Each structure stands twice: as C-alpha cells, then as structure tokens.
Structure 1
Amino acid sequence: MTDQMPSSTRTVLSWMPVLVMVAVAIADIVAGPGVGFLPLVSLGPAFAGLVGGWRRTAVFGLAAFILCVALGLYDGLFPERRGFTALASVAGVTGVGIAAAVMRSRREGELASVRSIAEVAQRVLLRPVPLTAGPLQAAVSYTSAVAEARIGGDLYEVVASPHGIRVIVGDVQGKGLAAVETAAVVLGAFREAAHDEPDLVGLGERLERSVARELEDEKFVTAILAEIGTDHAAVFLNYGHPAPMVVRLDGTVDFPQPPACALPLGLGAHGGDGPKPYRVDFAPGEQLLLYTDGVTEARDEPGRFYPLGERAYLLKDPDADRALEALRADLAQHIGGPSHDDAAMLLLRYHGHGKEGLSPSRE
C-alpha cells in the first residue's frame, strides 16, 4: 500500500514517469526511428499508476500520448503502422493503469475502515490501565509481533475489586486473529470474576473453566494472577507463566518462583493440581513488573536472551510511563530488528512511603 511506502521510495516513484519519458524521448531522437524506442513512451503512465490516484495516471497518459504523437511526426512514422501501434500501446497502458488506480483506491478505503474498527476493538480488548489503583501506580507497554497490528495474543488488566487490586498478565498460544479472540475470552472472564470471587484461587478456577470451554486442539494460555491488598504483600497464582520481577527499595531484584509448577489455562483437563497461591512482600516504594516471554526470550544477534534483571536500573525514572518506555527502548535495541513475538509489560509501583526506592541502582 502506498501509505506504508517509505518516503524516499515514494519520491523516486513519483518522479519515475517524468524521467522515463524524457529518457525515451532523448534515446529516440539520438538513435532515430530505426531502433524502435517509441512504444516505450507507455512506461510513463505505467509508472504513474504505482503511486497516486487515477487522475495522476490519466494526466501522465495524456502527456505520453502527446509525446508519442510528437516523436512519431518527428520520425515520420505515421504513414507506417509502427506509429499507430505506439499510440495504441500508450492508450492501452493508460487505460489499464487508470483501472488499477481506481481499484487500489477502493482497497485502501476499505483498509482504512478495517483499521478504524480494529482500533475500536483494541480499546475494548486492551483498555488503558488506570494510572492509579488503590496504593498502586500503573504503566503498561505492548508490542505486537504482527506487522501493522496494535494487538496480539498477549493480554493484561488491572481491576480494583472489593477484595483488593487484582491483576492479570497472560500469553495466548499462537498469533493472529485466533489469539486475539482467545485473549478477549480470558479478559472478559477475568473482568467479571475479579469482582465476584472472594479469593484468588476461585478466580483462577473460574478462568480455567471459561478458557476450557472456548479452546480446542490443546491450545492454552499462560498467565499470572496477582492480588495486592493493604498488607504490604502481593499474592500470586501462576499458570505456567514467567515469574514476576520485584525491584526492592535497595535496588536489588527478585524473581519469586511459585511453590510448584502448574499447567497453563486450558490444560486443566489433562490432570495435575492447579497452581498454589504464594505470598511475596511488596512494600511502599518497591516495584513489580509482570511481563510475557516475548521480553525474556527476546534474543540479540548472537542469540543471547534479554537480561531483564540486569536492566532494572532503567526503571529509575519517577514517571512510571517514561521508566517503562526506557525499558521497552532497551529491549528493542537488544533485538536490533522487528520482534518475533508479542511482548507485554505491566509495571506496578507501590507509591506512598519510601519513594527513593523507585530509583534502583546499577549494582
């Protein structure tokens, strides 16, 4: 699509019809009528159809037709069939170019409409997290692996419920529209159950039932649930998801692991115990980062994984959004190219006392 074309390429293509017709005219005058350059004038409207609308193609087609007549008269070709063949070539290419430009314009209009609908779907599916929720300050970062997409298979949500601040970060198996559909199912179930279920285990079981009804062919969703109350602690329920990162007041980093491994959501029917909740100290001034494996499994050119724990100092900015953006920029620099997996990060800061702890050191 022309609106996705780099500006330098678009500039070259914009001037190409003029350059081609000038080059053909010069070559025809220099070489004479015997070489047969005249039909190449039709390349002007052909290149014009690559960018711009049908009117641009028609203008260059008319210019090419006039140039063809002038060169034909100069070469004395119109008593012969070659002159009229060249004119027919210009007219035919111009007509086809105009038709192609009209069709492309219609497709671009349809694509713009689809993108508008997709942006509305994005706002419904992945709503902006609240800037503050109880004692927490929140920020989120999301990068989709699908080119030109705003959403993918990763999901997140923060809900202030009667039972505490409840959070989910998850990763749907697969990519594309099927993954987005599954993410919508999980988020819908979580938003409802977060208000109704009195404990985190009940919330997880309800999510498991919802996902099991929707998923087929052994698809699954890794997820981590968190509940943060007023007792300076966070309770986690981990469904086969990467461990959270906690940045302490002194700048040290913890990755608290669950007491036992558990299957992802959607695989509960295969047996095995569900995840066990585990409690982690989370005091004012500390930070909690929940993320998907698109962060920790991102590789640089030599194949090294992204060292998330070593980059905790990037979260030192007092503004949570800027801090998370610094981490995201460092991740993109580590990859050195387009991401091959969705990557979501949700940063929670326990604000209040001890804000000096929001500036972790490099040690």
Structure 2
Amino acid sequence: MTRGTSDAARGGRSRLRRPSDTGGWALTTGLVVAILVVLLVDLATGPVFRIIQVSVIAAVIAAMYCTVRQTVIVTVAFFAATAAMYIYSWKEAGFLTSYAVLAGNVAIGAALLRLCALRRQRDHLLAQALSASETVQRFLIRPFPLHTDDATVDGFYDSSTREALVGGDIYEALSTRHGTRVLIGDVRGKGLSALQAGMTVLTSFRECAYHEPSLLGVADRLEQALLRHNQRTERDAEEGGEHGGRRFVTALLLQLDSGGNALIVHCGHVPPFLLTLGSAAEVQLTTPGLPLGLDELAPDSRSEQKIPLAPGDRLALCTDGVTETRNADGADYPLAARLRSWAVLPSPQLIERLQQDLMDFAGHEPRDDMAFLLVRRHFSDRDDA
C-alpha cells in the first residue's frame, strides 16, 4: 500500500513495473571477476581436476539479467578464460579434446547471446504493453486529488489484483451546473466481468451527471446502464454456451448544493462519515436504497437525503474493503474510531495516516479492493486556504 502524499501515493499505488536493466555494469564486472577467480583457482590446483568450465554459469547469469552488450563482455571473458586454460594445458588434455571443448564453448556463447537478445526483445514489448495498460487504467481511474469548482477530493485507491491499478471499486468527482457531484461504488464479484460492470457505471456517471437535474435521476440512469450491460452480458454468454453472471454495484451519490448542504442518494453502499472540527460520526441514512442493478426488486427504494455541511466539515466515503479489513484476530478495522482520532488533521495527512494504519492493522497486502474519499468543500477563499 502506498504511503506519503505525493501524486503517486495519493493517486493509489502503481503496481505496474516496466522491465529494467536489472543486471547493470556492477553485475557485469562481478561476473568477469568471478571468471578470473575460477581461472586462477584452476591454474593453482593443477591438472588433477579442471573447473574452468564452471565459469559458464557467469555467462548464463549475464544472459538472464544483463543487456546484450554486457552479456557479450561476460561471454568473451568466459571464452578467453577457457581458451587460455586449454592452450596452457593442451598437452594434458590433448589437441582434439581442447579443440572440441573450445568449439562447444563458442556454440554455448552464441546460444546465450541469442537468448539474451530474445529476452530483451520480450522485455521491450512487455514495457510497451505495461505502458499502454497503465495509460488506459489511469484514464479510467483518475489519480488524487480531484478538484471541482467548489470542492477538493483527497483519497486513495488500492486494487487487490497484483500488477493492476484498477479493480472493482470506482469513484469520480465532477463539476456540473448542478454543483459538485461525487460517485463511489463497489462491484460485487471479481474478474474481468466485474471490471466491465464497474466501468459501465463509471462512464455512465461521467455523462449523465452533467445533464440530469436531480441526483435521483442520475441514480436511475446508472441503474438503466447497468441493466443494459447485464442483459448484453447474459445474451453473449448464452450464445457462447457459458453462464453469464449478473452484476450489481453498491454506490453512494453525493451532490453539494448551493445552500451549504449535501444531498445523498444511497444505493446499498457503506454509509458516509461526517467529519466536523475534532469529531467524526457515521451519517444516519433515513432511507437506505438497493444496489444498482437490483432496483427492480423495490423500484421506490431510493430517495434523496439532505444533510448540512458547515464550513470546515468534510465527508468521508469509502468502500467495504476499508471497513472489512481484518487483523490477525479477525476483528474489523475500527474506521469510525480512527476518523474521530484524526478529525483535526488536514486531508492529506489524514489520508496518509489511514493508509499506513490499514497496512499495520492487516499485516498483509489488501485482499479486497479499497477506496477512500475525503470531500472538502470550498465555501470561500479563506476556507480554501
């Protein structure tokens, strides 16, 4: 889990790692020195037991970890050392034996150089693929902090999938003519199909948040987008003879209105926390609604709830990957208590403290995707300072 308040840290950890020249010239020098040591030992021990061929291990290591140029240097050193040894002791080994061994070493060196070149080509293609993947994922999930006309959203995002920036959690904050609108959501399930369902909701929010006059209207549009996605997925699965799993998404929609209030539409998600000066408390939801994708079970389950948001107050939104993080004893993470303890901290410091504490509490990498958002409204230039 990332630490600190740098752009990378506050935007979620980047697990994508491009291949690099892990060998380097230090390793190359060490391998050449090792070959020379083997040669000197062989010369010192005499003709009873020759060990010079052991130095081929250095050439193999170079082919695995070094560049082609560095591998050439190590391979030439290996061949030069074996050639020197067999020239020095050709009477003992015999001309034909020495010639056969040296010819074999040339073939081994050529094969190792070819393998090194193929590995470097593969690493280059992998680097390009990872770069493209990271660009796409950064487009889907924007790094923190997010800025709107009247708010700043700090937070962090951690995917439980190794070598991935994006998991099943989604979030967004947008400036619209209706005020700042924020989405946080969590797709039920894992894998590519869950990611597709989450991206369906996210892209729909990025479009309809600008046009729908009410926050309930936004929720309805997200519901319809997910239903269409599920129908399409099930139809494609049936045509392919597979079982298509239906996805639903827990979500929380937030809107900052011009009257100093916050509107909330709850869709089966973790309740938000209201952080006031020196205190934090869970917002009591009067009308909890069903997750997106299940509204047909109770079409009138959702409603808007208004809560006051005074200058200096902040709203904390998270997914259940945070609240359900467990320690070695199986206890859930005490998020409410932690937020009360850190309510006086500025948002970046609170985020950093929370990330570190989650890692210390769990003692392992996250087993579920987790997202945490801290929404701070700008009521005036003074409050924004």
Per the shorter chain, which TM-score range? 0.7 to 0.9
- How high is the TM-score relative to the length of structure 2? 0.79
Q: Size of the alignment, in residue pairs?
A: 352
Tell me if structure 1 keeps the 8 A contact 2:56–2:78.
yes
Q: How does 1:147-166 map to 2 (within 5 A)?
A: 147-166=162-181
Question: C-alpha displacement at 1:68, in angstroms?
Answer: 0.3
Tell me if structure 2 keeps the 8 A contact 1:21–1:43.
no
Partner of 1:57 in structure 2? 71
Residues 149 and 90 (structure 1), Cα distance of their counterparts in 2 relative to 1, 3 Å cut: same
In structure 1, the gaps of 5 or more residues are: 359-363
Partner of 2:268 in structure 1? 240
Q: CA RMSD in A?
A: 3.1
**Identity across the alignment (%):** 31
1:199 is the counterpart of 2:227: no
Higher relative contact order (CA 8 A, sep 6+): 2
Instruction: Identify which range, 147-156 or 84-93, moves more after superposition.
Output: 84-93
Q: How does 1:303-322 map to 2 (within 5 A)?
A: 303-312=330-339, 313-318=341-346, 320-322=347-349
Report SS of the residue matched to 2:109.
helix
Q: Give, in whole Å, the separation in 2 of the partners of 1:40 and 1:57.
A: 17
Report SS of the residue matched to 1:35.
coil
Partner of 2:80 in structure 1? 66
Q: Give, in whole Å, the separation in 2 of the partners of 1:190 and 1:131.
A: 16
Query: What letter matches 2:248 in structure 1?
Result: F
Instruction: Identify which range, 112-121 or 26-35, moves more after superposition.
Output: 26-35
Q: Give, in whole Å, the separation in 2 of the partners of 1:79 and 1:31.
A: 19
Q: How does 1:243-322 map to 2 (within 5 A)?
A: 243-249=271-277, 251-259=278-286, 261-269=288-296, 271-273=297-299, 274-312=301-339, 313-318=341-346, 320-322=347-349
Question: C-alpha displacement at 1:208, in angstroms?
Answer: 0.9
Query: What letter matches 2:59 in structure 1?
Result: P
Report SS of the residue matched to 2:70.
helix
Deviations 1:278-323 (A, max 9, x none): 33332221110111122122233443322211222335344x3343
Deviations 1:32-56 (A, max 9, x none): 3343423222212111112221121
Question: C-alpha displacement at 1:241, in angstroms?
Answer: 1.4
Question: C-alpha displacement at 1:80, in angstroms?
Answer: 5.1
Residues 127 and 150 (structure 1), Cα distance of their counterparts in 2 relative to 1, 3 Å cut: same
Query: What letter matches 2:298 in structure 1?
Result: G
- How high is the TM-score relative to the length of structure 1? 0.84
Tell me if structure 2 keeps the 8 A contact 1:16–1:47.
no
Tell me if structure 2 keeps the 8 A contact 1:294–1:342.
yes
Query: What letter matches 1:266 in structure 2?
Result: G
Query: What letter matches 2:205 in structure 1?
Result: F
Tell me if structure 2 keeps the 8 A contact 1:61–1:90.
no
